[in-house]
Copies of this chain bind each other. A is one copy, B any other.
Amino acid sequence: METKFSDKLSDIRLHYKIWMSDANETGIMGDGKWQMLKLIEEKGSMKAACDELGYTYRRTWGNLKKIEKFFGFPLLEKQRGGSDGGHTALTEEGKRLVRAFDAFHKAVDSQIQEGFEKFINELKK
């Protein structure tokens, strides 16, 4: 419990990112899009979700287009015009994708956190 590392270990923060690509290494789904899709599902609006996450609408629009391009069918159901200007919802497939990613994260998050704690404790020895 008294190594050279000791006094710095409490300042260390863990980060990780999980994503998936097509064979051409183009990112098609990952933590960022997952979060965005979840928030769109919740808010019913791309713009609202972008505002909350601090992403630009332009960027998000392009990113989401990539997923749909890869799968070849829509994950989002968009509607323009109307009293509220328009809205966006997830299709059934969109929801399935998000739920599957939810489960993925649920399975690994605690493992990674636990591994990190062991890492820190190992350095404290």
Binding site for B on A (CB under 8 A): 3-5, 8, 11-23, 25, 28-30, 70-73, 93, 96-97, 99-101, 103-104, 107-108, 111-112, 114-116, 118-119, 122-123
Contact = CB atoms under 8 A, between A and B. Distances in A.
B101 A4 contact: no
A104 B118 contact: yes
A31 to B, nearest CB: 9
Contacts of A30: 15
Q: What is the copy number of this chain in the assembly?
A: 2
A20 B28 contact: no
27 contacts: A3-B93, A4-B73, A5-B97, A8-B71, A12-B20, A12-B22, A13-B20, A13-B25, A15-B21, A15-B30, A16-B16, A16-B17, A17-B17, A18-B112, A96-B122, A97-B123, A103-B118, A103-B119, A103-B122, A104-B118, A107-B111, A107-B114, A107-B115, A108-B112, A108-B115, A111-B111, A111-B112
Contacts of A13: 20-23, 25
A59 to B, nearest CB: 20
A12 to B, nearest CB: 5
A8 B115 contact: no
